Structure 1
Amino acid sequence: MNATDPTAGLPVWAEIDLDALEHNVRTLRARAPQSDFMAVVKADAYGHGLLPVARAAARAGAGWLGVAQLAEAFALRDAGITTRLLTWLTVPGSDFAGAVRRDIDLSVSATWTLYAIAAAAREHGSAARVHLKVDTGLGRGGASATDWAALFEHARLLEAEGAITVVGIWTHFALADAPEHPTVLGQQERFFEAVAVAERIGLRPEVRHLANSAATLVHPSAHADLVRPGIAMYGLSPVPQIDDDFDLRPVMTLRARLALVKPVPAGQGISYGHVYRPEEDTLVGLVPAGYADGIPRNATNVGPVHVGDRRTTIAGRVCMDQFVVDLGPDSTAVAGDVVTLFGAAPDEPSAQDWAAATDTISYEIVSRIGARVPRIWRGGSGAGAEA
């Protein structure tokens, strides 16, 4: 790779601005100054790179990291990252012993998990740290209200034995991104009811937490002891319907280079199925990125891109490794010119623009960028490149 330009020769790459990420962490921390801060870095840090992002978040003051799967948590610990760490999706047979050995906090929604973790803790000879998850209305993970008391009672028995320590009680919102929805306050009320039940049984959790990105930004009553921002940390709003960028800076910019520029006549079908035909003689550019790289196939004819001084859209069907753009008859673009799919500059499409064009959310746009797309980290002490 070229030492002066790490993108030289790359067909497509993602630039990750670690300075922007650190700024976002500090901005979000200021929104909840009385609460601890968990940086959610699941799914390879939403596609931004697990280890560089985790280190940057910790530099900016994140006292906790959160991931969905044990493998992600193990990768963080095995890389020498010592920040407090929670993981929340496990199944029977998961390596609970490996988690206890690495000082990883574990989420528990059912009694089977409690006893599996306790067995691993006994084997290791030290108490496992657990966060009891309660379902307050999302209807996904967490113990149902009818099971709260039983879960808490089993946890209290295991805690008295010394097998576990109940570090936290937590839940997750269903509609925090709809600030006026009545479920937001309703879930908060049910959550603190659950906490009260746990306390009557004798549990004294260190942290109570329920605020995701949206709640961190617009629901201060939900901040509790710990907030858990995810998408907002990457500079994308969880509430795009609100006309406020919350002083967040987009962290990922996705770029490619034109592999070919050529003339095509009016009416010529472009790409598979010929679902695009230019109305006049024009120039088209071939962009070497496709759905194998994470470009949504349903971005066909709608995905926004920026080439030179022109914003245009994908022309024709997105293929596995490439797509075409209509550059216009007067374009001066040549092979090698940079194409920006989304970024942070005012004239560039954003990840939210892509989300709107493809009927999804910005979370999916950034997290789906494939492993074969090199990440170029800029800023912070973690800057560098990974092919």
Structure 2
Amino acid sequence: MSAPARAAVRTAPTLAVDLSAVAENTRRFVRAVPGEVMAVVKADGFGHGLAAVARTAVANGATWLGVTSLAEGVAVRAAGVNEPVLSWLNPVEVEVAAAARHRIDLAVPSLRHLDAIAAAQHHVRIHLQLDTGMARDGAAPDEWASLMAAARRAEVAGRVTVVGIMGHLAMAAWPGHPANSRGTEEFLRGVAMAERSGLRPAVRHLAATAATLTLPSAHLDMVRIGAGLVGIDPSDSASLRRALRLTTPVAQVRRVEAGVGIGYGHTRVTCRPTTLALLPLGYADGLPRSASGRAQVLVAGRRCPVVGVISMDQTVVDVGECPVEPGDEAVVFGPGDGEPTVDEWAAWAGTIPHEIVTGIGSRVSRSVR
């Protein structure tokens, strides 16, 4: 039979963002490429804070900002950033007037998008977006010729200025994959097609973080760095500095005997007397439920296993004989000083680090330094 639980204390899970890591990573990419660096701050700066990451990246050499939506672009401007901003995932009915007013470039992935932008009677800068092998965003190759011709007509008419051509590589995390050379060749074919149409784009950009680290041939005039800014390397080829540390006070501690079932479904039953610590974090806060039974956290200077199912608001950790009290700090993940890392949590959950860092919920307070 378990001992009575000790009284819980007020809890305050905190996600600490280390901007010096963002600064160091930015400088590393700026030094590594011959052209410009676009800092991609979509998804609230990969969960690290759009405004803080944008300002830090620009202060350390990034010369462009990249976002998905027009709203994110407006937020970059509200953060006081004056460098060029590109938004590349907009509906056909995008607010062209707002893009023009806030000086936000728009990606054009189809003739329908181009026609709508040209008809809006607000001059904007555009980047023609080409699908180079992902069957996702961007114009399909059989549309390129007509898209280039229409873009040139719109430019001559004074409706747009074509300042860039962009694409994306599906297999850049695997540098030897033949899809990378095919995608690069296809992209350069599209650039040549644009030039034959009379367009003179100033920036050709194909490489995101993985391609920047592994495929120098894809660097061209500019690279787009998002995950790499915050220490995520999809190619596992570099040592970037991680920028996040997630901590929480222990909410409750209880001593239990052998044979005690833990959490929903009793997926874990204690095999010996032990001490359980309750953390006030769960899948609603971004801890992936799929990591249940595999994940670890750092408590009292030692890694302790997550036991039972991660619940919406709570996670149970087996701290064994460690002297743990309510209010003691548990480190869920951090930059790698003995505590688990974001990469480990991604592996435990069967996902990628991007999903972990962008999934931390709004109930977790933020601390930026």
TM-score by length of 1: 0.91
Residue matched to 2:6: none
Aligned match for 1:272, one of 261, 264, 272: 264
Q: 1:9 to 1:104 in 2, by over 3 A?
A: farther
Deviation at 1:340, TM superposition (A): 0.9
Residue matched to 1:365: 356
Q: 1:96 to 1:29 in 2, by over 3 A?
A: same
> After the TM superposition, which residues 25-40 of structure 1 pair with which residues of structure 2 at under 5 Å, given as runs?
25-32=26-33, 34-40=34-40
> After the TM superposition, which residues 147-296 of structure 1 pair with which residues of structure 2 at under 5 Å, given as runs?
147-240=143-236, 242=237, 244-245=238-239, 248-296=240-288
What secondary structure, in the 3-state scheme, does the structure 2 residue paired with 1:73 have? helix
What secondary structure, in the 3-state scheme, does the structure 2 residue paired with 1:254 have? strand
Residue matched to 1:69: 69
Residue matched to 2:316: 324
**Cα separation, 2, equivalents of 1:346 and 1:76:** 32
Deviation at 1:69, TM superposition (A): 1.1
Residue matched to 1:88: 88
On the 8 A contact 2:307/2:316 being kept in 1, the answer is yes
Pairing 1:22–2:45 present:
no
Pairing 1:346–2:347 present:
no
**Cα separation, 1, equivalents of 2:364 and 2:88:** 28
Q: Residue by residue, what CA displacement relative to the aligned partner does 1:179-220 show, whole Å, maximum 9, x if unpaired?
A: 110111111111101100110010000100000101111111
**Cα separation, 2, equivalents of 1:312 and 1:171:** 44
On the 8 A contact 2:11/2:250 being kept in 1, the answer is no
On the 8 A contact 1:304/1:353 being kept in 2, the answer is no
Q: Residue by residue, what CA displacement relative to the aligned partner does 1:87-127 show, whole Å, maximum 9, x if unpaired?
A: 0111133222111111000000111111222233x2x4xx2
Residue matched to 1:382: none
Q: Residue by residue, what CA displacement relative to the aligned partner does 1:147-189 show, whole Å, maximum 9, x if unpaired?
A: 0000000000000011100010010010100111011111111
**Cα separation, 2, equivalents of 1:348 and 1:155:** 52
Residue matched to 2:327: 336
Deviation at 1:295, TM superposition (A): 0.8
What secondary structure, in the 3-state scheme, does the structure 1 residue paired with 2:246 have? strand
**Cα separation, 2, equivalents of 1:61 and 1:318:** 41
**Cα separation, 1, equivalents of 2:324 and 2:119:** 64
**Cα separation, 2, equivalents of 1:11 and 1:167:** 47
The residue type paired with residue 260 of structure 2 is: Q
On the 8 A contact 1:97/1:117 being kept in 2, the answer is no
On the 8 A contact 2:12/2:365 being kept in 1, the answer is no
The residue type paired with residue 282 of structure 2 is: G
What secondary structure, in the 3-state scheme, does the structure 2 residue paired with 1:151 have? helix
The residue type paired with residue 21 of structure 1 is: V
Aligned match for 1:146, one of 128, 142, 145: 142
Residue matched to 1:385: none
What secondary structure, in the 3-state scheme, does the structure 1 residue paired with 2:307 have? coil
What secondary structure, in the 3-state scheme, does the structure 2 residue paired with 1:211 have? coil
What secondary structure, in the 3-state scheme, does the structure 1 residue paired with 2:268 have? coil
Identity between Structure 1 and Structure 2 (%)? 45
Structure 1 ranges of 4+ moved more than 3 A: none
The residue type paired with residue 273 of structure 2 is: D
Q: Where does structure 2 lack aligned partners over 5 or more consecutive residues?
A: 1-8
Q: Residue by residue, what CA displacement relative to the aligned partner does 1:338-382 show, whole Å, maximum 9, x if unpaired?
A: 11111113311111001111110011110111122111001xxxx
Pairing 1:376–2:367 present:
yes
> After the TM superposition, which residues 46-61 of structure 1 pair with which residues of structure 2 at under 5 Å, given as runs?
46-61=46-61
**Cα separation, 1, equivalents of 2:156 and 2:51:** 36
Pairing 1:13–2:14 present:
yes
Deviation at 1:305, TM superposition (A): 0.9
Q: Residue by residue, what CA displacement relative to the aligned partner does 1:232-269 show, whole Å, maximum 9, x if unpaired?
A: 111121113x4x42xx1100111111001110111101
Residue matched to 1:4: none
On the 8 A contact 1:304/1:314 being kept in 2, the answer is yes
What secondary structure, in the 3-state scheme, does the structure 2 residue paired with 1:81 have? coil
**Cα separation, 2, equivalents of 1:220 and 1:170:** 16
On the 8 A contact 2:249/2:326 being kept in 1, the answer is yes
**Cα separation, 2, equivalents of 1:262 and 1:96:** 59
Of residues 74-83 and 60-69 in structure 1, the stretch that sits farther from structure 2 once superposed is: 74-83
